Structure 1
Amino acid sequence: MRYEAMSEKHLDGMVSVWNSEWIRVFPMREQLIAQNVFEDPNWLRHGSWVAIEESRDRIVGFVVAKAYREELAQYGLKSDAGWIQALIVEQDSRGVGIGSGLLGRAEEALRKLGVQRISLGNDLQSRLFPGLPEPEEATKSWFEKRGYVCKAEVFDLLNSYNHRAGVTLPEVQDALFRVATPEDRERMTAFMRRCFPGTWDYQHREYWKRGGTGREYVLLEREGNIIGFCRMNDEHSPLLAQNIYWSPLFDEPLGGIGPLGIDETYRGYRYGISIVQAAIHYLLGRGSRHIVIDTTPFVEFYGKLGYTSWRTYAKFEKTIDLTGSSTFRPE
């Protein structure tokens, strides 16, 4: 077995090994790997590796690591954060230490950067999963033996609509909904900075930098001020967003909803559920026939709108002790 530092030349092999394992549940496209790994400024190149079976010169596994950049400090994100975005080894090559070898290399690179807290997935703007996907007990146990602890579970929810289905734009007290435009960029940035500093602020700014026009946001306005937002995605969005990653599984267009937030000053008016209904209204009008609400623990809440659990993710973290010496030794 040979380990190589990951680079763009490995893209085809990475997609191949991924789909050999997960094409029926999480079908991977080259566009998604390119967008979420090689084009992500948080990608840690020297912490990402591929395992190559030398006899056939074929990739049989890989790990993707990401790390905090200094620029993230302006969003209030802590500098001790690191992520294992993906770790996959093909079924026939498991049980011989390849997974441990890949994970150890990624963790060592993160440790050398001063990372103290490693999450499985959930890597800001360009994550593939918000946690360990569809976790089997054997997989959870494998990570637990390596120091990872499960913190919570979150879910992707799904609802399907027929061609005659329609959801009217809800009426809300003293406020109105509309789709954002390019002219809203500065006002939205000010709103996010004030009400939702951190990950959502960062994601919003990256959206505009990477070609966003505003059509992916429902705005809630009251007295001319933005008091809420909801992200909505479809096949025409400039970026492949997490709630439409797996659209190849559907014969009809898939739409996605989330994240969403309401200024805490205006909570208690049912604005939250209403802005979801507004996003559904706009997505159905654009032709979506299936809609995913991603990364939420609130299954019962969204069940009121007909949504049911579709995907499950376990959020795992590991704390690194920087005071001791490394325990990883490459083969």
Structure 2
Amino acid sequence: MYRTFQSGDEGSIVQLWNDVMPADPISQVRFRNQVLLDVNFDPEGLIIAVDGEKIIGAMLAITRKVPMLGGNLETDNGWITFFMVQQDVQNRGIGKGLLDRAILYLRKQGVSNVYFSSYAPNYFLPGLDEKAYPSGYAFLQKEGFSRLYSPVAMHRTLTDYHYPASVNKILNERVLEGYIVESVKDGDLHALIQFANDAFNPDWGRAIRDGLLQGMNPAQIVVAKKADRIVGFAMYGGYEGILERFGPFGVDASEQGKGLGKVLLHNTLFLMKQQSIQGAWFLWTSETSAAGHLYAKNGFSTYRKFHVMVKKL
């Protein structure tokens, strides 16, 4: 039988998740925070498959009820952020039953594009990891989803990290030109959030604000300024309080090519090393982008690849 989410389902969904997706286990607290407390969560969009009283499948479809700060409702777009079917009953059409009902829900919201799973802010993974979940990737392809792009997750160890002399030279050159690189001050927070929203995307501004409200130390945010104007920033520990998680990180397009990105990256890694953090990682970049090349040249390596998928309705 198929139905929608009911109170009390959460524990069984988390247990099923951890059984089916061992590469990405979650806690009940994380499920509560990123699903049930999401401002866009609608119980009608969380489709459940049950056999008697036992939950054997689940799929979450979501649309925006509240716009991202500085964004809009993206009324043409909907997202599927996770799906799962109990392993011993896979390949019996249960996944398709979940998807058909999720698509029906999204159609009723006026959606014309369905994505897996590039929803912000509360995505679990940027897309589908074909290597970890080949059957899930094959299922989406069979059901009419096509690959849009493939972001990667990267990591670097900090156990042997030393602040490079070459980066210190760049920093000194920029300081002589009037640039300042420092931990963010309280008085700069509004300007920083606006910069992140305008120069990059509203999810970055939200990440800064939410991280600080959840207790992140402002010293974990490094900013570059020129004539009192913020032109770049980097941070760590802003997502779910995970200190090893680096980012977001960016430099204004008009200021690129001056080594500011490298300086911000290494100043932040140095702060992490000072806190005895053993490694830095993040979930989402393009290997072929300027940021991807910067990471690769500074000790980061790809450890997972994801496919953002889309289906036109």
Q: TM-score, normalised by structure 2?
A: 0.86
Give 1:217-236 correspondences, 5 Å limit: 217-233=221-237
Question: Which residue of 65, 82, 101 maps to 1:105?
Answer: 101
What are the equivalent positions in structure 2 for 1:1-331 lying under 5 Å apart?
2-23=1-22, 25-54=23-52, 57-72=53-68, 74-76=70-72, 78-135=74-131, 137-162=134-159, 165-167=161-163, 170-171=167-168, 172=171, 173-174=174-175, 175-208=179-212, 214-233=218-237, 239-240=239-240, 244=242, 255-298=244-287, 299-320=292-313
- Within 1, Cα distance between the matches of 2:203 and 2:96? 30
Q: How much does 1:123 deviate?
A: 1.0
TM-superposed deviation, 1:199: 3.5
Provide, for residues 7-44 of structure 1, a one-character-per-residue CA deviation record: whole Å limited to 9, x for no partner.
45222111111111233x21211121111101111223
Change over 3 Å in CA distance of 1:146–1:12 after alignment to 2: same
Change (3 A) 1:292 1:99: same
- Using the TM superposition, give the Cα deviation of residue 111 of structure 1 relative to its aligned residue in structure 2, in angstroms: 1.0
- SS of equivalent to 2:80: strand
Kindly indicate whether the alpha-carbon contact (under 8 Å) linking 1:68 and 1:80 is maintained by their aligned counterparts in 2: no
**Could you list the per-position Cα deviations for residues 26-85 of structure 1 after superposition, in whole angstroms to 9, with x for gaps in the alignment?**
12111211111011112232111222221xx22222111221225348425632121101
Give identity over the alignment, percent.
21
Query: 2:222 & 2:280 partners in 1: Cα distance?
Result: 15
- State the one-letter code of the partner of 1:34: R
| Counterpart Cα distance in 2 of 1:74 and 1:307 | 32
Aligned mates of 1:5, 1:212 — CA distance in 2? 36
Q: Name the CA distance, whole Å, in 1 between partners of 2:110 and 2:207.
A: 24
Gaps of 5+ in 2: none
- Given that 1:49 and 1:64 are in contact with CA atoms closer than 8 Å, whether structure 2 keeps it comes out as yes
1:215: how far off? 4.4
User: Which amino acid in structure 1 is aligned with residue 184 of structure 2?
Assistant: A
Q: Is the 8 A contact 1:158 1:291 kept in 2?
A: yes
Q: Distance in 2 between matches of 1:288 and 1:91?
A: 37
Residue 168 to residue 68, structure 1, CA distance change in 2 (3 Å): same
What amino acid maps onto 1:194 in structure 2? D
Separation in structure 1 between the aligned mates of residue 217 and residue 107 of structure 2, nearest angstrom: 38
* CA-to-aligned-CA distance 1:276-331 (integer Å, 9 cap, x gap): 212211112222102113211225442212211111101101111xxxxxxxxxxx
What amino acid is the match of 1:30? Answer: Q
What stretches of structure 1 move > 6 A for 4+ residues in a row? Answer: none
Deviations 1:68-113 (A, max 9, x none): 2253484256321211010011211201111111111111111101
Whole-Å separation in 1 of the counterparts to 2:56 and 2:5: 13
- Aligned-pair Cα RMSD in Å: 2.5
- Deviation larger for 3-12 or 283-292: 3-12
Q: Secondary structure at the match of 1:141?
A: helix
When residues 96 and 114 of structure 1 are mapped into structure 2, their CA distance, relative to the original with a 3 A threshold, is same
Any stretches of 5+ residues in structure 1 without a counterpart? Answer: 245-253, 321-331
Change (3 A) 1:140 1:36: same
Deviation of 1:180 after TM superposition, in Å, equals 2.6
Query: The residue matched to 1:194 in structure 2 has which SS?
Result: helix
Q: CA deviation digits over 1:240-288, x for unaligned, max 9?
A: 27xx5xxxxxxxxx60112222112211112123222122111122221
Distance 1:26 1:159, change over 3 A: same
Aligned 8 A contact 2:130 2:136 in 1: no
C-alpha distance in structure 1 between counterparts of 2:219 and 2:121, whole Å: 18
